[in-house]
Structure 1
Amino acid sequence: MDFEKLTEVSRRLALEAGDKIMEIYNADDFDVKVKSDDSPVTEADEAADAIISAGLRAAFPDVLLVTEEQAASHAEKADTFLIVDPLDGTKEFIKRRGDFTVNIAYVENGIPVRGVVYAPAKGRLFYTQADGTSVEEEGPFSKDKPGATKPISVSKPDMGALMVVASKSHRDQATDDYIGKYNVKDMKSAGSSLKFCLVATGEADLYPRLGRTMEWDTAAGHAVLLGAGGNVVAFDDHKQLVYGKDGYANTFFIAYAPGVELQPA
């Protein structure tokens, strides 16, 4: 893989998809449908998917593309693949809460090694560079030329005063019970893959997820967090969360800054 090209193409496509998403988001109304798994999908999901899929297939025709909005891709498997969630946080989008992201990732041998996460309503853009390190780009954003970037890095956690981030739409008692095992200084709620990015920038130390997610929900944020020095492990055994599983469904997981002493499940 040409990582310079991957970074350039993924960044540009994320911004193009983000522009289309915001065009629909700012309209007076937009269509919302329900998929076979009872999850919502909007015209923004589909429009963003069309932009990203066309761009990735043109740039990397020999690499498998798995995307949330194309069910046929969920039956395909490869050791190396691109994986896309064109609009993560559809519920936040529908409620016009702004916590939604565009996610594009590249997986090698089970590990998401490169990724881009763009939150168009928040004006935040995170991605891995060609060398694998993660940055946040400062806006305003140009699709043709990257702007100034700043390296991002996980925090040095204080186990007596942890910063925790959890899901805005999927919080439950089991999650609260697990968080209760830690000494928490502050608790944030955020939607979509932004939670990984908050750990990657040091704005949070710990993000536990005790709920259903798919690999396209997490791969890009996982890559950004790895590039910032963080890690993501399975909730039950604290082994590395891997990708390319049957059906692309995740186990429960914990994203964290090294230095957090993980508590047992």
Structure 2
Amino acid sequence: MTYDDLIPVIRRLALEAGDKIMEIYNSDDFDVKVKSDDSPVTEADEAADALISAGLRAAFPDVLLVTEEQAASHSTKGDTFLIVDPLDGTKEFIHRRGDFTVNIALVENGTPTRGVVYAPAKGRMFFTLADGQSIEETGVLDKETVGSVQPISVSNADNDALLVVASKSHRDQATDDYINKYNVKDSKSAGSSLKFCLVATGEADIYPRVGRTMEWDTAAGHAVLAGAGGKVVRFDDHTPLQYGKDGYANPFFIAYAPDVELKEA
């Protein structure tokens, strides 16, 4: 598998999954179930997962696949793997708020190197090119042909007037306490992996996450942010966030533009 092989496939699968998700999103009603960890799952999560998994296994049968909706994949390990969250921001989806994304990423030696984040309700598509540069594709999104693209890059952050983005569904006092260590010009909330993309485009300077996430929640956004010049580090010691951990659970982390002068936890 080369990067040139990978990128068209994950972009197309993200768009196809987005179409399926929006078909369910725009229906009069849809089923919502509760998983063993008390998190919600909808028929859109399951339909998108089936579509993406089948497409990735057909295209790259020799590459390990880890996906949120297939528990058996959570006990597998490898240095190189594809990791999928077919619908990140399920709560946003359920409440019809639009801040949900399709996420597909490649992890190599503990680092997300390529990925796609697609927000179908917002019509925003972010992905890494084969050379690692991140772009946003705009206009009509055709499954077979890439349209108008714009390279994206993190901000030149002003530490006296920072732009902060935080979780919409999981913001708490600990998050606010950490944000208050900075000189903040503006703070916004967003759902799902869109927060990584807002840092990647310079619409925000820093995204601190003081709460539980899994690697499939973050890998694609991490790859997009890295391809735009950004960084993702552990909250406690500011070392790079690593992937392929046992159980695929993340520690708290900070995603940011490198000009941001990070504060201690």
The match for 1:122 is 122
Match of 1:257, as an amino acid? A
Does residue 205 of structure 2 align to residue 205 of structure 1? Answer: yes
Q: Which runs of 5+ in 2 are unaligned?
A: none
**Matched residue count:** 265
Over the matched positions of the two proteins, sequence identity in percent amounts to: 81
Q: How does 1:227-242 map to 2 (within 5 A)?
A: 227-242=227-242
- Of stretches 1-10 and 45-54 in structure 1, the one that deviates more from structure 2 is 1-10
Instruction: Measure the CA separation in 1 of the matches of 2:99 and 2:144.
Output: 25
Q: What residue ranges of structure 1 are gaps of 5+ in the alignment?
A: none
Which residue of the partner structure matches residue 74 of structure 2? 74
Match of 1:224 in 2: 224
- Give distance in 1, aligned partners of 2:53 and 2:86: 9
Aligned to 1:175: 175
Q: Which residue of 1 aligns with 2:253?
A: 253
Displacement after TM superposition at 1:38 (Å)? 0.4
Paired residue secondary structure (1:127): strand
1:4, distance to aligned residue in structure 2 (A)? 1.1
- 1:17-43 superposed Cα distances (whole Å, 9 cap, x missing partner): 000000000000000000000000000
Tell me the TM-score normalized by structure 1.
1.00
Distance in 1, Cα, partners of 2:98 & 2:113: 27
Structure 2 Cα separation of the partners of residues 6 and 118 of structure 1: 16
- Residues in 1 aligned to 2:5 and 2:150: alpha-carbon distance in whole angstroms: 20
Query: CA separation in 2, counterparts of 1:4 and 1:198?
Result: 26
After TM superposition, give the deviation of residue 148 of structure 1 in Å. Answer: 1.0
Q: 1:5 Cα deviation (Å)? A: 1.3
| Separation of aligned partners in 1, 2:246 and 2:144 | 37
Q: Distance in 2 between matches of 1:100 and 1:139?
A: 19
Alignment partner, residue 134 of structure 1: 134
> Where has structure 1 moved over 4 Å in runs of 4 or more?
none
Partner SS state of residue 165, structure 1: strand
What's the secondary structure of 1:106's corresponding residue?
A: strand
Equivalence for 2:92: 92
Q: Which digits, 9 at most, give the CA deviation of each residue in 1:40-84, with x for residues without a partner?
A: 000000000000000000000000000000000000000000000
Paired AA for residue 139 in structure 1: G
Q: Aligned-pair distance for 1:226? A: 0.2
What do residues 104-135 of structure 1 show as CA deviations (whole Å, max 9, x unaligned)?
00000000000000000000000000000000
Q: TM-score, normalised by structure 2?
A: 1.00
Q: Is the 8 A contact 1:124 1:139 kept in 2?
A: no
Deviation at 1:139, TM superposition (A): 2.1
Q: What do you get for the CA RMSD once the two structures are aligned?
A: 0.4
- Contact map agreement 1:105 1:220 (CA 8 A) in 2: yes
Which residue identity lines up with residue 82 of structure 1 in the other structure? Answer: L
